Chain A
Amino acid sequence: MADFKVIGKDENKDKQAVQVVTGKLDFSADLHPGNKLYCRLKDSPYAAAKITSIDTSAAEALEGVAGILTYKNAGKLAPLGLSEEILCAGQEVAVVAATEPSIAEKAVQLINVEYDPLPFVTDPDEAMEPGAPLVYKEGESNVSTSELLRGDFEAGFAEADVVFETSVGWTNYFQHNTMETHSAIAWWEGDHLYSQCSSQNVFAAQAAVAGLMEIPLHKHHCISHGTGCGYGDKHFFGTLIMCPEHYYAALLSQMAGGKPVECVYSRYDNFTKSSNQFAIKADFKFGAKSDGTLTAIDCTFYADDANLGASFSGGASFPIRSTYKCPNGRFKAVGIKTNKPRTGAWRCVADPPGNWLTQVAIDQLAYELGMDPLEFRLKNHVTSDMPHQDSGLIYASNGIYECTVQPTDAIGWAQKWHAPGTRTLPDGRMHGIGMSASIDSHGQMSSPCGAIINFTADGKAQIATGITRAGCGTNTAHAHIVAEKLGLPYDDVSVGAQGVTDVCSDGGGQGGSTRTITVGAAFYAAAEDALQQLFARAEAQEGIPPFRAEGGKIIDSTGTEWTFADLVGAGGQLVARGYTWPKQLQREHLGFPIGTPCEVRGVCGAVCEVAVDTETGEVEILNFINCDDVGMSMFKQGTLNQLYGGLEIEIGQGMFFEHIVDKNTGITLNASQLTHRWPTPLDHDGNVEDVIIVETDDACGPFGCKGIGEPVLNSFGCIANAVYNATGVWVKEAPLTPQRLLKALGKA
C-alpha cells in the first residue's frame, strides 16, 4: 500500500470545522433573517380523499399573507405534494407565505377545505388482500412483484440435506429524522431565480425547480452550503417529489414580487411529507448440506412502499444475493402500496431492513444446523476474489473476510459465544453475543461528475465542489486527494465554493456512498490536469522534462525547482478541471487488466454483546464494534465519525425508532423526535462503542478509496442475534423494544 503524505493522517481536520463549531456554517433557513416571508403548510386530516373544494378567501384577506398555494395553482407534482387526490394523512393541501410565522399559521387555519373521504389502507398485509382499498385508484392492485433467478433453485433444494424455512419481520417504519428539516429559501431578481436549499443533489434541484418554474437552467442560481444531514430524503431522483418545499418557495416568491420566501418544514411536516424508511418482511427457505454448505435460497421480500410510485423492495435481496455463496436461488420482491406517509431510500436502497431480516434468518439457520453463527458465515461467505454471482463482475475490493473476522476476534467471540440462554451474569441478567456481516449495494461509481481546482497567486489550491456539506466528510476527503496528488501540504488546499451551481461543476447526487469515489475520481483527474499545466509552464521556463511534483514544488529532470507560486503567476490564473472516470479497474487486480468493469460495494460487519433483563425486557449494550471496509481512508477522522455515527444510528434503528400510524385514521401519532425515540447521549454510552477500519485499497477508486456514506448497514441485526443468544427467544420484529421482547418471552 502506498505511503501517503496527506491521506489518512490522524491530525487532519475537517476543512470546515471552524465554521461548524462557531455556528457560521449557513443552512438555507439562515439567510435573510427578518427580511423574508415564512411558509406554513396545511395538512389533510384524511389518509385517502378527494378534495371537493378549497376556500382560501378568508386567509387571503388576513393582513400579512403574501401568497397561498393549492393544487389549483401549484399542482404540478400531483398525485404527491399539492394534489386534488390525497394519498396519506398529513399530505399538504395548501402552503401559505406570510410576513410572520404566526400569521401564516393563522392563515392555514382560515383555509377551508372540503373533502370526499375515500377508503384507505395503512397495513401492508391488509393492502395485499384482494379487495383492499386501492392507494392509486387507477391501478388494479396495491402489489407489484419482481423476481431474480440464479441457477436451478429446485435442484438446489433436491440436493440439500436440510431444508429450513422461516419468516421474519416486519422491520420498523420510521422517519429519516434529519436534524435540519426540509428547507429552502428562494427569491427572484428579474427573471432570475436565486435559491438555497437543503439538498443531497443541488444540480438536480436546480434543474427540477427551473423546469417547474419554466425558466432556463442558467437563470436558476442554486446553492446548497450546509445540509443538516440527508439520509435519502433530500435526494432528487429526477423529479421533485422528495423536496417540493424548494418549488413552493420559488413559486410563492414569484407571487410576492420576488421577495425572499423561506419554506421550512416543521418536524410534523418532516414526518408526514418527507421520506420514511419503509418496513420490510421476508419469507426465507434455505437448502443446505449437513456440513452447512448452502445449496439453494428461495426468498421473498415484501416492502411497504407507502404511497411512493416506485418500489424499493427489489433492493432488499442485495445483501443475501451478494454475501453468501450459493449456486441456486430465487429472489422475489413484492412492493406494496399503502396510505402511510411517503417512504424513500434510507441509508442505501433497501439494504438496512433487508440486512436485518437476512442476518436474523442466517443466524436461525446456523442454530438449526447446530453451528456457531460465525462458523456458518465463514463457511458460506463469498471470497474476495469471486466475481459477483449475478453480475459476473469482479470486485475492485472486497473485505468481507476481514469484516467478519476482525470484529469477532476483537470482541473475543471464540471465548464468549455460547449456546442460547446458557450464560447468566452475576447480576442475574442473561449474557448474549451476536454478529452480522454483509456486502451491500451502495458504493458504486455513478453519474458523471466534474471537479474544479482554482489556484491562488501564492500557489495554494481551492477546490470548488458541486456537492453540499452534509456531514460525511466528503469535501474534506476530496481536499486530501487533491493535496496528495499535487504534493501540496494539507493546509495548502482549502474547500472553496461548494454546492454553488454558478461556479462549481455538477457533483451528482449524494446518495449510495458514491461521492467520495465518484467526485474523488474527478478531483484526482483535475489534479492531474493541474500538474500537466504546471509542467507545461515549467517547460516554457526552460525546464527539462520529465517533471515531478514534490513538497509543494515542481522539479525537472536536472533538479531545477519552481514553487507553485512561481508557475501560477501573479494573477492566480490557473484553473484545473477533471471528470469522473468509468467504473473500471484503474490498475491490475486479481489478474484482470486496467479497464475491466468491476463492482465497488460497501462491505461491513459488526458484533455486539448484550445483557438482557428477562423480567423487564430491558437490553443493555455491553460492547459494540462496527467494522467497515473503506477501501482506503482518505480523511481518517471523517471515516471514524462515519463509523461511530453508523453504530449509533443502527442502535437507534435496532432498538428505538418507530413512526406509529394509527390504523383507524392513518394519522401519525408520534411526530416528535422524543416519542419517535431518537436516542440521546443518555441512551448511547460511548464507552462501549468501538470501530475497526478495514483498508482494502480499492482498485477502482482514486488512491484506493471508496464511499462510506452508509457505514455498517447490517449492525442492527446483530442486536437481535445477541438477544437470541442471551434468551433463546427470537424477536422477529424491529425495533427490539422491551415490550416486544417480553411478548416473545411470553411475559406480556
Chain B
Amino acid sequence: MTEKKNNGSGGKTRREFLRDAGLLAGGTAIGSSILLAACGGTETITNTITRTQTTTATESKFVDPIDGMEFDTLAALQAHFEAVHPMGAVEGLVTLNVNGKDHILQIKPHWDLAFVLREKLGLVGLKLSCDRGTCGTCTVVVDGKAIYSCMMLAMDAVGTKIETIEGLSDGAIMHPIQQAFLDKNAFQCGFCIPGYIMAAKAILGKTPNPTHNEVREGLSGHFCSCGNSKRIVEAVKAAGGG
C-alpha cells in the first residue's frame, strides 16, 4: 500500500500519524461518542430505541465531543469549541464529508471508516459481514469509487467525499438504482443490498450503460448468500438503462 498525504493528519503520512497518535493515546482523554455536527449542522443526533421498534430521535443538546461539556445553544458550543480546541490543535480531530455534509469528529487512528460511519455517525445502513475486505456489505462510495469501508482507516477518508446508502434517498423518493432494485425485486434478506447498491452507484458513475458482464465484473467483490445475484445484476443493468 502506498503512503499518501492527507489533510486530517496535519500533512503527516498515515504511518507517522499512527505512530504519533499511538504515543499520545495513553494520555489523551477521548471524548464522548456523541457527534458534534458543527459545520452547518444544528443538532446532535443520537439513535434511540423504543421497546418495539427502532426510531431515530432528535435531541436539542449540544455536546463538545472532546471534553463532554454541554451547552444549550449551538452558538455557545461553537464559541467554546473555537476557544478551547482550535482546529489542528487537537489530536484526532478531523472533518469527514459524508453525503454532502461536513462532520467534525474526534477519531482514533485505528478506527476504520465502517466503524466511524456506523458507530459515530449512526449510519448503520452499511453492514459488516466479514470485517476483512471480502464480502462487500460495507461498501460505500469514496470519491466515486466503491470502497470496502472496513478496510479503510477513517483518517484516510479525510478530504474525500463519502457517500453511503443514507445519502441516496430520504425514504420517500427512491434513487434510480434503488428503484431498479425495487422494480426487479432484487433482494431477499436484504443484508447485502446496501453494499450492492453503493457498488452499483460506483459502476454506473464510471460506466453509465454497463453490459451484463461489466455488471458482473463490477459486483464480483460481493456475496449474496440468499443467491439473488441474477436479479441483482438485472437491477443494476436496468438502472443503467440496459
Q: A23-B194, A471-B189, A674-B134 are in contact. Are A229 and B226 (CB under 8 A)?
A: yes
Q: A31-B49, A267-B131 are in contact. Are A470 and B189 (CB under 8 A)?
A: yes
Task: Report yes or no: A652 in contact with B227, Cβ–Cβ below 8 A.
Answer: yes
Q: For residue A682, give the distance in angstroms from its CB to the closest CB of chain B.
A: 4
Task: Report yes or no: A179 in contact with B125, Cβ–Cβ below 8 A.
Answer: no
The docked-state distance in angstroms from the alpha carbon of A686 to that of B126 is 25
Scan B46-62; emit 1 where CB is below 8 A from any A CB, else 0. Answer: 11010111100000000
B residues near A14, Cβ cutoff 8 Å = 185, 187
Out of B128, B129, B174, which one reaches A18, CB within 8 Å? B174
A178: Cβ under 8 A from any B Cβ: yes
The docked-state distance in angstroms from the alpha carbon of A646 to that of B166 is 30
Out of B46, B52, B118, B193, which one reaches A20, CB within 8 Å? B193
Q: A229-B226, A680-B220 are in contact. Are A502 and B188 (CB under 8 A)?
A: no
The docked-state distance in angstroms from the alpha carbon of A485 to that of B60 is 47
The docked-state distance in angstroms from the alpha carbon of A472 to that of B125 is 21
A residues near B118, Cβ cutoff 8 Å = 30, 33
Binds B, one of A429-437, A636-644, A728-736: A636-644
Task: Report yes or no: A645 in contact with B227, Cβ–Cβ below 8 A.
Answer: yes
The docked-state distance in angstroms from the alpha carbon of A102 to that of B109 is 12
Q: A35-B46, A640-B185, A641-B231 are in contact. Are A20 and B190 (CB under 8 A)?
A: yes
A residues near B169, Cβ cutoff 8 Å = 22
Q: For residue A272, give the distance in angstroms from its CB to the closest CB of chain B.
A: 14
Q: For residue B77, give the distance in angstroms from its CB to the closest CB of chain A.
A: 19
A354: Cβ under 8 A from any B Cβ: no
Task: Report yes or no: B129 in contact with A180, Cβ–Cβ below 8 A.
Answer: yes
Scan B180-212; emit 1 where CB is below 8 A from any A CB, else 0. Answer: 011001011111111001000000000000001
The docked-state distance in angstroms from the alpha carbon of A225 to that of B190 is 12
B residues near A179, Cβ cutoff 8 Å = 127, 129, 135, 137, 189, 191-192, 223-226
Q: A30-B54, A680-B220, A686-B231 are in contact. Are A25 and B190 (CB under 8 A)?
A: yes
B85: Cβ under 8 A from any A Cβ: no
Task: Please report which residues of chain A, range 644-681, place their CB below 8 angstroms from some CB of chain B when the two chains form the complex.
Answer: 644-649, 652, 672-674, 678-681
A residues near B53, Cβ cutoff 8 Å = 26, 223, 225, 497, 500
A residues near B197, Cβ cutoff 8 Å = 21, 23
The docked-state distance in angstroms from the alpha carbon of A101 to that of B226 is 28
The docked-state distance in angstroms from the alpha carbon of A219 to that of B119 is 28
The docked-state distance in angstroms from the alpha carbon of A686 to that of B222 is 15
B residues near A672, Cβ cutoff 8 Å = 130, 132, 134
A residues near B128, Cβ cutoff 8 Å = 29, 264
Task: Report yes or no: B182 in contact with A678, Cβ–Cβ below 8 A.
Answer: no
The docked-state distance in angstroms from the alpha carbon of A26 to that of B191 is 9
A residues near B192, Cβ cutoff 8 Å = 179, 228
Task: Report yes or no: B227 in contact with A646, Cβ–Cβ below 8 A.
Answer: yes
B131's nearest neighbour on chain A, judged by CB, is: A266
Q: For residue B177, give the distance in angstroms from its CB to the closest CB of chain A.
A: 8
Out of A22, A27, A679, which one reaches B171, CB within 8 Å? A22
B residues near A471, Cβ cutoff 8 Å = 187-190, 226
Task: Report yes or no: B120 in contact with A34, Cβ–Cβ below 8 A.
Answer: yes
B125's nearest neighbour on chain A, judged by CB, is: A23
Task: Report yes or no: A645 in contact with B33, Cβ–Cβ below 8 A.
Answer: no
Task: Please report which residues of chain A, range 661-718, place their CB below 8 angstroms from some CB of chain B when the two chains form the complex.
Answer: 672-674, 678-682, 684-687, 689
A406: Cβ under 8 A from any B Cβ: no
Scan A1-43; emit 1 where CB is below 8 A from any B CB, else 0. Answer: 0000000000001101111111111110111111100000000
B49's nearest neighbour on chain A, judged by CB, is: A31
B185's nearest neighbour on chain A, judged by CB, is: A637
Task: Report yes or no: A26 in contact with B54, Cβ–Cβ below 8 A.
Answer: yes
Q: A22-B169, A645-B188 are in contact. Are A27 and B233 (CB under 8 A)?
A: no
A413: Cβ under 8 A from any B Cβ: no
Q: A101-B115, A228-B127 are in contact. Are A648 and B190 (CB under 8 A)?
A: no
A194: Cβ under 8 A from any B Cβ: yes
Q: A21-B197, A33-B124 are in contact. Are A13 and B182 (CB under 8 A)?
A: yes
Q: A101-B115, A179-B225, A645-B188 are in contact. Are A673 and B231 (CB under 8 A)?
A: no
A221: Cβ under 8 A from any B Cβ: yes
Out of B54, B129, B219, B230, which one reaches A648, CB within 8 Å? B230
B55's nearest neighbour on chain A, judged by CB, is: A26
Q: A22-B165, A34-B119, A101-B115 are in contact. Are A680 and B219 (CB under 8 A)?
A: yes
Task: Please report which residues of chain B, range 91-142, place their CB below 8 angstroms from some CB of chain A when the two chains form the complex.
Answer: 110, 115, 118-120, 122, 124-132, 134-135, 137
Q: For residue B41, give the distance in angstroms from its CB to the closest CB of chain A.
A: 16
Pull 19 A–B residue pairs with CB atoms less than 8 Å apart, ordered by A: A18-B171, A20-B187, A25-B190, A33-B119, A34-B119, A179-B135, A179-B189, A179-B191, A179-B225, A226-B191, A267-B132, A472-B188, A497-B52, A503-B52, A674-B134, A678-B225, A681-B219, A681-B220, A686-B231
* B residues neighboring A (CB under 8 Å): 33-34, 46-47, 49, 51-54, 110, 115, 118-120, 122, 124-132, 134-135, 137, 164-166, 168-169, 171, 174, 178, 181-182, 185, 187-194, 197, 212, 215-217, 219-234
User: Given A226-B189, A682-B220, 14 more contacts at CB 8 Å?
Assistant: A13-B182, A13-B185, A23-B197, A26-B54, A178-B225, A179-B191, A267-B130, A267-B134, A267-B135, A641-B228, A641-B231, A644-B230, A673-B130, A680-B222
